[in-house]
Structures are given as structure tokens and as C-alpha cells.
């Protein structure tokens, strides 16, 4: 009876030891389709609801049938290829962002450069500048002769009429040749030339004879402190920030 007892113990111990041996890790997984037609993937048969187990499909990794060493090498190669592809894609995205940023910077610089250029009309040595003049809600455009010798900006009565100017003072104005005239003096809400805007600009309203000054004079009351060059060939004023 003792021998039988020890034999039984050996059998039980052998069965228990067999349970402790780790099973080879497989790469099998399962897929099943539920009642709504959705496909599910699981790595354990017990995770499949009983009603769908008859419809299961066993799927294996493409390298499962290869020797372990070869399988591990191929999987490592795939991992390195994926990492290299991801790195390349990140580099491409980074280069694309840098290129886009540089393009936007160049476009912004070009826009600022163009904004500093104002086309003018040049006749001989006379430079007629396109201006926007505002008097309250009234606004008009005019061409004023750039005149650094004029203390104040001058506009014609026709321009003043378009601006509905009603508030003015009478002043004495000295014109070319030293002649002194009685003129009207007003303050304009704004004068704008290209990118340059100046508020509360004094202006003298004087009639002209012969039309030699266009719609008036753009004088030092506006030009003082501004930096610019005149391109006589391209007929532009280039404002210097």
C-alpha cells in the first residue's frame, strides 16, 4: 500500500509540474462578426460571446510558421522600417512647416515693401501726389503738387466744396512772387498719402490760375519729419520707415 501511495504521489506531482511549464506564446487572435455586422478582434477565445463562437475566424501573424529566431529578426526589421518611415515623415512635415513659414515671411515682407511705394505723376520736375482728404464724414481724392517750400498744405475751392468745408478762418497768405492774398484757413480731419496718415491737418483754401498746382499743394505741415525718396524713372515715392 505504501508503494501504491508513493506512485500516486508521483503521478499527481508530474501532472502539477506539467501545469507549471509555460506554454509557447502564440500570435493567434480571433475575429467575429456581431449581429450588427461589426467585426471584432480579440486575442482570447473566452472574450468571444458564446452566440458568436461558431462564426469565429482564427487569424495568425504572417511569421508564425517561421522558426523563432527568423521570426524575431523579421519582426525587428519591420519595427525598424516603421520607425524609419515615421522619422522620415516627421522630417518632411517639419521641412514643409519651415518652408511654409519662410514663404509667409517673404510674402509679408513683399506686402510691406509694396505698401511703402506710392505711384505719383511726374511732369518735368513737378511731382503730383495722389492723396485722400477727409473732413468729418466727407472724403475726396485729389492730386497735390509736392512742395517742400510751402509751409502749409493748400487745396482749391473745388476740393473744399467736395469736402463740405464750412468752418474756416480768414488769413493772409503769401503766394509765389511775394503777393499777399486773403484766404480761408481750415483744419482737415485727415490727409493720407499711401501708407502715411496724418490727423488734424491745417490747410489753406486758395484759388489758382492756370492749373499749375493741380488740386493744390502738399506742404511741410504734412511732409515734416517724413523720410522718402522719389524715383523719377518709375514715378514713385518710396517711403522710409
Residue in 119, 186, 177, 121 with CA at minimum distance from that of residue 156: 186
The model's pLDDT over 26-47, given as tens digits with 9 standing for 90+, comes to 456 677 788 787 888 777 778 8
- pTM of the model as a whole: 0.59
Domain boundaries, the chain: 2-59, 117-239
* pLDDT tens, per residue, the chain with 241 residues: 444 444 434 334 444 343 343 434 445 667 778 878 788 877 777 888 877 776 655 655 667 778 888 888 888 888 898 899 999 999 999 999 999 999 999 999 999 999 999 999 999 889 999 999 999 999 999 999 999 999 999 999 999 999 999 888 998 887 766 778 888 999 999 999 999 999 999 999 998 766 677 899 999 999 999 999 999 999 999 999 8
211 phi/psi in degrees, rounded to 5: 70, 20
Place of cell 515734416: 224
Q: Report whether 26 contacts 64 (CB < 8 A).
A: yes
Question: pLDDT value at position 44?
Answer: 78
Fold of 117-239: Cathepsin D, subunit A; domain 1 (2.40.70)
Which triple of cell numbers denotes residue 218?
Answer: 502738399
**DSSP for 103-151, written as a single string:** HHHHHHHHHHHHHTEEE-EEETTEEEEEEEEEETTEEEEEEEEE-TT-S
The model's pLDDT over 156-179, given as tens digits with 9 standing for 90+, comes to 999 999 999 988 899 888 776 677
Q: Quickly count: other Cβ atoms within 10 Å of residue 217's Cβ.
A: 26
- The SS3 call for residue 93 is helix
Q: Quickly count: other Cβ atoms within 10 Å of residue 215's Cβ.
A: 23
Amino acid at each position: 500500500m505504501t508503494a501504491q501511495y508513493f506512485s500516486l504521489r508521483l503521478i499527481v506531482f508530474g501532472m502539477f509540474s506539467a501545469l507549471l511549464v509555460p506554454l509557447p506564446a502564440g500570435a493567434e487572435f480571433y475575429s467575429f462578426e456581431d449581429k450588427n455586422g461589426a467585426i471584432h478582434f480579440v486575442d482570447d477565445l473566452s472574450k468571444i460571446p458564446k452566440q458568436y463562437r461558431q462564426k469565429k475566424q482564427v487569424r495568425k501573424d504572417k511569421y508564425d510558421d517561421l522558426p523563432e529566431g527568423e521570426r524575431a529578426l523579421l519582426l525587428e526589421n519591420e519595427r525598424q522600417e516603421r520607425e524609419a518611415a515615421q522619422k522620415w515623415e516627421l522630417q518632411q512635415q517639419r521641412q514643409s512647416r519651415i518652408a511654409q513659414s519662410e514663404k509667409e515671411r517673404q510674402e509679408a515682407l513683399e506686402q510691406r515693401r509694396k505698401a511703402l511705394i506710392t505711384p505719383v505723376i511726374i511732369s518735368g520736375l513737378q511731382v503730383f501726389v495722389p492723396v485722400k482728404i477727409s473732413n468729418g464724414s466727407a472724403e475726396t481724392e485729389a492730386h497735390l503738387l509736392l512742395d517742400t517750400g510751402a509751409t502749409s498744405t493748400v487745396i482749391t475751392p473745388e476740393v473744399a466744396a467736395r469736402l463740405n468745408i464750412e468752418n474756416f478762418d480768414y488769413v493772409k497768405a503769401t503766394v509765389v512772387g511775394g503777393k499777399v492774398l486773403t484766404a480761408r484757413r481750415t483744419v482737415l480731419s485727415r490727409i493720407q498719402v499711401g501708407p502715411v496718415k496724418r490727423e488734424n491737418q491745417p490747410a489753406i483754401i486758395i484759388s489758382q490760375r492756370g492749373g499749375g498746382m493741380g488740386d493744390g499743394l502738399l506742404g511741410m505741415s504734412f511732409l515734416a519729419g517724413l523720410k522718402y525718396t522719389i524715383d523719377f524713372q518709375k514715378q514713385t515715392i518710396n517711403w522710409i520707415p
